[in-house]
Amino acid sequence: MQLSFLGQTYTASFPDLEVTGVHRMGTFRGQTYAIKQFHVANCPQPVEELSFMGRRYKR
């Protein structure tokens, strides 16, 4: 998915979610709902090249 922010375009990436099952039930304002636990796959962050006061570094 192509997005843009302040004139810069970038590609959004969404991590895979894995639902491990329903562990508990909850109630909120009279409505019952299932409390699910999600596991997010390890998503490496892209390396950014930045500069500060003329020095370049990677984050």
Sign of the C-alpha dihedral, residues 55, 56, 57, 59? positive
In a domain, 3, yes or no: no
Say yes or no to pLDDT of 55 above 70: yes
Give the model's pLDDT for residue 28.
Answer: 86
Residue 38 lies in a domain: yes
Residue 20 located in a structural domain: yes
8-41 pLDDT, tens digit each: 888 877 766 666 666 778 888 988 888 777 777 7
The number of domains in the chain is 1
- pTM equals 0.29
Report if residue 39 sits inside a domain.
yes
The number of residues in the chain equals 59
Identify the domain containing residue 28 by its residue range: 16-43
> 50 in a domain, yes or no?
no
Q: Among 4, 6, 1, 34, which residue's Cα sits nearest to residue 19?
A: 34
